[in-house]
Amino acid sequence: MKIGQFCSNEARKEIDLYLQYRQRYGEKLTKDSPLFRKTFDRTDQMDVRNPKPLSRNTIIWFINELLNTTGVRVSPVMTEGMMMTKHIPQRTTVMQCHGFRKYFMTTCINAAGMSPIYTDMLMGHDLGLTGAYTKLTG
């Protein structure tokens, strides 16, 4: 599993804790182990040792649910005409995963009045020399 270069330090810490949890209950992690697996019965060693990865569609469903419940993307209101016919969802202007990042950055800058450089730091962006010379204060 190659994870570290594609997420923030905070995300990496949480991933490591989750993987340690799985190992604690007997899962043997290898380079081929899925990062996201279906839930398992901790008392059933056969279930623990045979991880079943989440399907792509399941991950997409989770992301869609998060986008809708957090308000990053508002679900269209179903009308009677949509219920009578087979409604085909339309593409949205906010890409699923990228939408979380855009929402976070916009919220930090607009609502919290946070400096864009601090937002970039929290998002794990490479700031080059600016990052080297910027010191966060408590």
Residue 1 is predicted with a pLDDT of 45
- All structural domains of the chain with their residue ranges: 1-58, 67-72+84-138
Cα separation, 44 vs 46, whole angstroms? 6
CB 94 within 8 A of CB 61: no
Q: Which residue, 18, 42, 38, 40, is CA-closest to 29?
A: 18
Residue 135 is predicted with a pLDDT of 73
* pTM flag (> 0.75): no
Residue 127 is predicted with a pLDDT of 82
- As averages over each run of 10 residues, the pLDDT of the chain (138 residues) reads 61 91 93 89 88 88 83 71 60 66 82 80 80 70
